[in-house]
Structure 1
Amino acid sequence: MAHRQTLPVLPLRGTVIFPGVTQPIAAGRPGTLRAIEAALKGDRLVFAVAQRDNTDEPTPEILYTTGVIARIGQIQRGLGGVQLLLQGEQRATALQYSTTEGHLTAVVIPAEEMLPLNERDPAFEALHKETRERAAELGERRGLPEEVVHQVLDSVSEAGKFADLVAGYIELTVPEKQGLLETLSVEERLRRVLVHVQRQIGLLEAQEDIKSAVQEELGERQREMFLREQMKAIQKELGDDDQSKELEELREKLGKLELPREARQEVERELGRLERAGRESMEAQVIRTYLEWIAELPWGERSDDQLDLNRATAILDEDHYGLQDVKDRVLEFLAVRELRARQVADEVEKTGEVPAAKLMGDQDDATPTLQTSTNDSERQITDAKEAKARAMARGPILLFTGPPGVGKTSIAKSIAKALGREYVRVALGGARDEADIRGHRRTYVGALPGRIIQGMKQAGTKNPVFLLDEVDKLGQGFQGDPAAALLEVLDPAQNNAFVDHYLGVPFDLSECLFIATANFPQNIAGPLIDRMEVVEFAGYTEREKAEIAKKYLIPRQLEESGLGDKNVSFTDDAVMRVVSEYTREAGVRQLERQVGAVARKVARRVAQGDLTVIADNTIDAAEVRELLGRPRVHPEKAAEQNEVGVAAGMYYTPMGGDIMFVEAAIRRLPGARRSSDDGDVTQVSGYGNVSLILTGQLGDVMKESARAALTYAATHASGLQIPEDRLGSIEVHVHVPAGAIPKDGPSAGTAMSTAIVSAMSGRPVRRDVAMTGEATLRGRVLPIGGVKEKVLGAHRAGITTIILPKQNEADLEDIPEEVRDALSFHPVETLDEVFDLALLPAPRPVATPKTEMEVAEEAAAALR
């Protein structure tokens, strides 16, 4: 049986306290204060019960019988009464009210909750979960932080206590709250709380809809205009009209621009918005920045072209040594533009008219011919300049490709210098966002135009030489493909109306002279490279590097090191030692670093007072070795003697060409070996099992070349003078030194075939021969790439005889004349020709039975 107890009564006006809820209460009535004092003298418990009506003198008749046994927590006394925290602990029912010592007391008995028969019942669990979700939604709609709402609600797990917690915080009338307090069934109480919560959510939604409708009816724009008129009047009274002056200056600046119709309309619209916006508002800042970008772009400014082919030739020769093929292509490129410009100038001079097709870039929507008159001479001059600029701009877009440091970027700068145009360089390496090219839309915070429009602002003219550097390094991210965004920029049929996302209006790029650079053109998207004409930059020879060092690099580095007035010079041997022993590259960047290192070390010694370093003002090869230390580069050199099983191949990388040695060795196995499935054992019909071992970090293509070479040697043994005992159970080991470096490609096929045949036949390979070419299973030699770089590398290594595919014979024209004169070239079509040139005669003749392949080939030849 529940325990009865007598407690002071704390009458509540306008509120109901629930178990588990702490609520602040203000008490000021004498009877209530006496009840609180009585509770404080005891165990601080009171019977908190709501009044049926709001009267100052509560009597038992106006008090509900169901209330809460509550504990008085923190209490603060004041002049008007007390403030106390009341924490509900348990429901209780008043059996009898009475008056004791000027305050009400009650005999109460705790009220037990009615729990559900099965708390795991799906219907009850669903009701509990739904009530929690709707209570959380209500809290968030009232503006409470999500973390606070979940922290409060998640602190109670029991369904009954949770219902009391929510009931204590939602806005209900006293009778409604009292009804929830008197509901002892937990399930029924949860259901009632859910109904009240859902009703309040609906009420909040309706209030929000009504508020939105009212705001629309009031007209925020009208209210804003009224307030701005007041602000203008106040500013006028204060004499603060700086904003008006700024607007007038900006309007005047924009009015002088030669803007297209779409741009002019957008500018006028934005100016109107700026006038209506507050000076310090965020919107005004965004609009002002946009209009300033418009004002600073070169809508009608252009450089006067000063194209003279003789002057351009002199500038290119002055700025760059070698690269004759590239210079010729650049001069052809410029010559076409000069002739087109002359055609326009002659036509204007003869007819007094500017051809509309020339003016519009030969577009399909060209306007009729513009007739000029004596009263419109200024317009005639402007149209003639524009037509000339457009005529010069049209044509292929050059793509300079080649290894780093060979002068791609500096050639573009020289073109701008020769044309008398502004030069702009945009580095595209690593760009992964389409917005890098097209810009961000103005709706984004911190939006800016793309790199193209930024470059045009930097140039200050609409016809600059625009270098797109490292287009092969463009990435592709989640924000779009920047390479695709470049398609419009580089398409002459579209770039006269290029739309940057930030500007939102067309900008004419058709007069720009676009030049792109790349190291690896195969990394450029097909549609993009299709819009450009490739101009290949090959690596420099060692002699060219030495000349570049003497003419450009050494004077610049001596000047930067403070030795410009010391008359310091390098001997030819010193320069060649730096080139050959301390650099390994196709370009000259590393060479300039090494020259700079020598100059800095000399400068340090001079600064310390050691004048003996430059006593004779000359740095020789021995001093280079002393200053730079041990050589950093160890290129391959031609073998000192003819060797069996070692053939010199040639390879090419973006850093330049060089030779590599392919080594082959034969070992007779003690017994026959079974053919394996992993491809390492090659079965040769009629001659046992041949085990092939490949080492040296070879790629799949080189491995296949080695297998093809071995099969060719085994099937043509008689003609290749391979002894019969070398065709049984043997192990063929092919190795390419520099084993830590991955290698791949088909051009080592001839070298591998030569090394394997040499090892199997015992015929030495000539030490002065290097070869390149793809070899087939039938012994044909197919063409390869990079002939110039490979030949230059072989020449540096001391090779005197070059074997290359017959179809690559035309590539020899690209090789410098002094290198061609120093080498002997042998174009071949078959491996037999390679072996005749590269292999020395066998020490003694051998007699090997003809293989099945050789017999079949002879029979086929007889039928022809």
Structure 2
Amino acid sequence: MTKQKQPSDTIAQSGESEEDTPERELPLVVLGEMVIMPHMTVPLQVGQGKSYRAMEQAWDEDQEVLLIFVSESEIESYKNGQPQQFPPIGVIARLEEFIKLPDGTVRIILEGLVRARLLEAIQVDPFFRVRCLPLTDAEPVGMEVEALMDTVKQQVDEFVDHLGEVPQDAVAFVHRIDKPGHLADIVTYAPAFEFTERLDILNEIDPVERLRRAYMLLARQLELLKLRQKIQQDTKEVLDQSQREYFLREQMRVIRRELGEDEDSDDPIDELRRKIAELNAPDYVKEQATHELKRLAQQGMNSPEAGVIRTYLDWIINLPWSEEEISEISIAQAQEVLDEDHYGLEKVKERLLEYLAVRKLAGSRMRSPILCLVGPPGVGKTSLGRSIARALGRSFVRTSLGGIRDEAEIRGHRRTYIGAMPGRVIQGMKTAKSRYPVYILDEVDKIGQDFRGDPTSALLEVLDPEQNNTFSDHYLEIPYDLSQVVF
């Protein structure tokens, strides 16, 4: 539930001096790697912690909060309630919206009101409460101030002309600003500015000096933008030249063919086409590979995407897709291999032999269960898996999952990302060079999770016999059959 908050009467209005402004005691909210200037309204999503409790209290009491802004490396000390030093300047803000979400976080809208000097902390738990002094901008006048504001507004126009992504309403709003401090705050909120640059502007109390610094920062960003556009133009010219060379080579190839001369047999497109034709894979795999090969042929080997498509086709071609002959399971041979590789472990060996006997009796009708080997490091879990592979006459592959926190480590990254690769499962299948390996997923108890997803949930599709015959890797974007793997 939300409601509109009214401005507090205790915040000093423009033109009042610091001495005339009463001190205030407010809940403290700590934000990492971002700055909310006065006159700005920003939506945020906040998790549990001291800042969450501070905003909850402020919302219940219809009270403002004091925002301070720190780097990511300093956030942890505030969470522990032991910051080394509070920033000198913050921003008093009003909560316009406060909505609790099912996942335990809260969605808020904060409106920055005025700068404030942080005097001291008067409470640490359950959240920080501080004493602060609101700071209002003076209203300087004069020809120099007007000239500086006009110059900055002209810079904004030039910046927008080069960027070409800023709504005209925003530009018109900047031109209507008639106070130097307000203009500096708004200009500095452009996406091109870094956290430390915005923090430097926030900490400057004098509005004219603040605008001078904003002018210098904007001038630097404008030069960088011009340089970036020049580099892009130079790059485009190089690519156009590469495209021209590609067409000329194609014409030369056609001319050689018409003259009856030998064409270049090492053409990478033809080589890939031959490998796809020889690929023993399902039809949908060949269709996908052929589609990507057509894209590569149309764009040419010198195009920016050529390397991405070529890498993708190499993965499809080198993965094991075909059915293979599986040797008969020999319980006697399996026992001999286990005894040869491991001394003792009688109960473990007995359970493994029982598992192999059931597989032999059930044959292809059996949905393979998952073997779980538990024990401290060095007791032989991985070597037992290697012995099972030797007993079954299958290849062996091991993937360590200890410490991974990203779901993409299992499912792979989508090809839209630079440097994208398949997940570890598909990489392991390529290493095994067989659809029927013994696959050890090592250290599954050390898998973590964070905002990038839950790798343990992604493992369900890998291990569940009902799903793993159509395992979907984000990079491949085509189903891959893992049902014959012994996990």
> TM-score, length-normalised on structure 2?
0.51
Q: In structure 2, what is the Cα distance between the partners aligned to 1:335 and 1:420? A: 15
Kindly provide the CA deviation profile for residues 765-821 of structure 1, in whole angstroms up to 9, marking residues without a partner as x. Answer: xxxxxxxxxxxxxxxxxxxxxxxxxxxxxxxxxxxxxxxxxxxxxxxxxxxxxxxxx
Cα separation, partners in 2 of 1:427 and 1:133, compared to 1, 3 Å: same
- Structure 1 residue 228: Cα displacement: 5.3
Give the alignment of 1:362-377 within 5 angstroms: none
Cα separation, partners in 2 of 1:507 and 1:129, compared to 1, 3 Å: farther
Cα separation, partners in 2 of 1:227 and 1:276, compared to 1, 3 Å: farther
- Structure 1 residue 127: Cα displacement: 7.4
Kindly provide the CA deviation profile for residues 323-370 of structure 1, in whole angstroms up to 9, marking residues without a partner as x. Answer: 1111111111111110112xxxxxxxxxxxxxxxxxxxxxxxxxxxxx
Q: In structure 2, what is the Cα distance between the partners aligned to 1:280 and 1:337? A: 52
Q: What residue in structure 1 maps to residue 408 of structure 2?
A: 435
- Alignment partner of 1:232 is 2:250: yes
Within the candidate set 382, 385, 388, 1:415 is matched to 388
Kindly provide the CA deviation profile for residues 601-655 of structure 1, in whole angstroms up to 9, marking residues without a partner as x. Answer: xxxxxxxxxxxxxxxxxxxxxxxxxxxxxxxxxxxxxxxxxxxxxxxxxxxxxxx
Contact map agreement 1:429 1:473 (CA 8 A) in 2: yes
Give the alignment of 1:236-385 within 5 angstroms: 236-237=254-255, 242=264, 245-302=267-324, 304-341=326-363
Within the candidate set 471, 488, 506, 2:444 is matched to 471
Contact map agreement 2:296 2:306 (CA 8 A) in 1: yes
> TM-score, length-normalised on structure 1?
0.29
Q: What residue in structure 1 maps to residue 378 of structure 2?
A: 405
Cα separation, partners in 2 of 1:143 and 1:234, compared to 1, 3 Å: farther
- Structure 1 residue 240: Cα displacement: 9.7
- Structure 1 residue 249: Cα displacement: 2.3
> What amino acid maps onto 2:268 in structure 1?
E
Q: In structure 1, what is the Cα distance between the partners aligned to 2:416 and 2:336? A: 50
Kindly provide the CA deviation profile for residues 800-855 of structure 1, in whole angstroms up to 9, marking residues without a partner as x. Answer: xxxxxxxxxxxxxxxxxxxxxxxxxxxxxxxxxxxxxxxxxxxxxxxxxxxxxxxx
- Structure 1 residue 395: Cα displacement: 2.6
Kindly provide the CA deviation profile for residues 694-725 of structure 1, in whole angstroms up to 9, marking residues without a partner as x. Answer: xxxxxxxxxxxxxxxxxxxxxxxxxxxxxxxx
Cα separation, partners in 2 of 1:335 and 1:138, compared to 1, 3 Å: same
Cα separation, partners in 2 of 1:262 and 1:126, compared to 1, 3 Å: farther
Contact map agreement 2:276 2:290 (CA 8 A) in 1: no
> What amino acid maps onto 1:328 in structure 2?
E
Q: In structure 1, what is the Cα distance between the partners aligned to 2:387 and 2:486? A: 13
Greater relative contact order, per chain length (Cα 8 Å cut-off, separation 6+):
2
Q: In structure 2, what is the Cα distance between the partners aligned to 1:431 and 1:415? A: 26
- Structure 1 residue 142: Cα displacement: 5.3
3-state SS, counterpart of residue 349 of structure 2: helix
3-state SS, counterpart of residue 276 of structure 1: helix
Kindly provide the CA deviation profile for residues 265-286 of structure 1, in whole angstroms up to 9, marking residues without a partner as x. Answer: 2212101001112222231111
- Structure 1 residue 306: Cα displacement: 3.4
Q: What residue in structure 1 maps to residue 156 of structure 2?
A: 137
Give the alignment of 1:111-190 within 5 angstroms: 120=139, 131=150, 133-141=152-160, 143=162
Contact map agreement 1:262 1:506 (CA 8 A) in 2: no
- Structure 1 residue 505: Cα displacement: 0.6
Q: Sequence identity of aligned pairs in percent? A: 49
- Structure 1 residue 440: Cα displacement: 1.2
3-state SS, counterpart of residue 372 of structure 2: strand
Cα separation, partners in 2 of 1:482 and 1:232, compared to 1, 3 Å: same
Cα separation, partners in 2 of 1:262 and 1:225, compared to 1, 3 Å: farther
Kindly provide the CA deviation profile for residues 643-691 of structure 1, in whole angstroms up to 9, marking residues without a partner as x. Answer: xxxxxxxxxxxxxxxxxxxxxxxxxxxxxxxxxxxxxxxxxxxxxxxxx
Q: In structure 1, what is the Cα distance between the partners aligned to 2:305 and 2:290? A: 16
Q: In structure 1, what is the Cα distance between the partners aligned to 2:349 and 2:477? A: 39
Contact map agreement 1:228 1:276 (CA 8 A) in 2: no
> What amino acid maps onto 1:478 in structure 2?
F
- Structure 1 residue 120: Cα displacement: 2.5
Contact map agreement 1:270 1:287 (CA 8 A) in 2: yes
> What amino acid maps onto 2:482 in structure 1?
L
Contact map agreement 1:243 1:279 (CA 8 A) in 2: no
- Structure 1 residue 408: Cα displacement: 0.8
Cα separation, partners in 2 of 1:125 and 1:436, compared to 1, 3 Å: farther
- Structure 1 residue 126: Cα displacement: 11
Q: In structure 2, what is the Cα distance between the partners aligned to 1:477 and 1:254? A: 39
3-state SS, counterpart of residue 466 of structure 1: strand
3-state SS, counterpart of residue 314 of structure 2: helix
- Structure 1 residue 224: Cα displacement: 11
Q: In structure 2, what is the Cα distance between the partners aligned to 1:488 and 1:446? A: 24
Q: In structure 2, what is the Cα distance between the partners aligned to 1:257 and 1:491? A: 28
Q: In structure 2, what is the Cα distance between the partners aligned to 1:261 and 1:131? A: 66
- Alignment partner of 1:488 is 2:461: yes
Within the candidate set 398, 401, 404, 1:425 is matched to 398
Give the alignment of 1:590-605 within 5 angstroms: none
Q: In structure 2, what is the Cα distance between the partners aligned to 1:498 and 1:292? A: 19
Q: In structure 2, what is the Cα distance between the partners aligned to 1:478 and 1:242? A: 51
Q: In structure 1, what is the Cα distance between the partners aligned to 2:141 and 2:465? A: 70
Cα separation, partners in 2 of 1:256 and 1:493, compared to 1, 3 Å: same
Aligned residues: 274
3-state SS, counterpart of residue 138 of structure 1: helix
Cα separation, partners in 2 of 1:400 and 1:133, compared to 1, 3 Å: farther
Contact map agreement 2:243 2:302 (CA 8 A) in 1: no
- CA RMSD, Structure 1 to Structure 2 (Å): 3.5
- Structure 1 residue 403: Cα displacement: 1.5
Whichever of the two has the greater Rg, that structure is 1
Cα separation, partners in 2 of 1:129 and 1:336, compared to 1, 3 Å: farther
Within the candidate set 428, 432, 448, 1:455 is matched to 428
Q: What residue in structure 1 maps to residue 91 of structure 2?
A: none
Contact map agreement 1:427 1:469 (CA 8 A) in 2: yes
Cα separation, partners in 2 of 1:440 and 1:242, compared to 1, 3 Å: farther
Q: In structure 2, what is the Cα distance between the partners aligned to 1:302 and 1:134? A: 71
Cα separation, partners in 2 of 1:132 and 1:322, compared to 1, 3 Å: farther
Cα separation, partners in 2 of 1:340 and 1:135, compared to 1, 3 Å: same
Contact map agreement 2:246 2:302 (CA 8 A) in 1: no
Contact map agreement 1:306 1:418 (CA 8 A) in 2: no
Q: In structure 1, what is the Cα distance between the partners aligned to 2:142 and 2:478? A: 61
Cα separation, partners in 2 of 1:140 and 1:405, compared to 1, 3 Å: same
Contact map agreement 1:303 1:420 (CA 8 A) in 2: no
Q: In structure 2, what is the Cα distance between the partners aligned to 1:315 and 1:267? A: 41
Q: In structure 1, what is the Cα distance between the partners aligned to 2:419 and 2:307? A: 11
Q: In structure 2, what is the Cα distance between the partners aligned to 1:295 and 1:491? A: 26
> What amino acid maps onto 1:482 in structure 2?
P
Q: In structure 1, what is the Cα distance between the partners aligned to 2:143 and 2:376? A: 75
Contact map agreement 1:430 1:475 (CA 8 A) in 2: yes
Cα separation, partners in 2 of 1:134 and 1:497, compared to 1, 3 Å: farther
Contact map agreement 1:441 1:502 (CA 8 A) in 2: yes
Cα separation, partners in 2 of 1:139 and 1:275, compared to 1, 3 Å: same
3-state SS, counterpart of residue 337 of structure 1: helix
- Structure 1 residue 478: Cα displacement: 3.3
Q: In structure 2, what is the Cα distance between the partners aligned to 1:314 and 1:267? A: 44
Q: In structure 2, what is the Cα distance between the partners aligned to 1:277 and 1:431? A: 37
3-state SS, counterpart of residue 444 of structure 1: coil
Contact map agreement 1:258 1:300 (CA 8 A) in 2: yes
Which blocks of at least 5 consecutive residues in structure 2 are unaligned?
Answer: 1-137, 164-178, 181-239
Give the alignment of 1:844-859 within 5 angstroms: none
Kindly provide the CA deviation profile for residues 165-197 of structure 1, in whole angstroms up to 9, marking residues without a partner as x. Answer: xxxxxxxxxxxxxxxxxxxxxxxxxxxxxxxxx
> What amino acid maps onto 1:433 in structure 2?
D
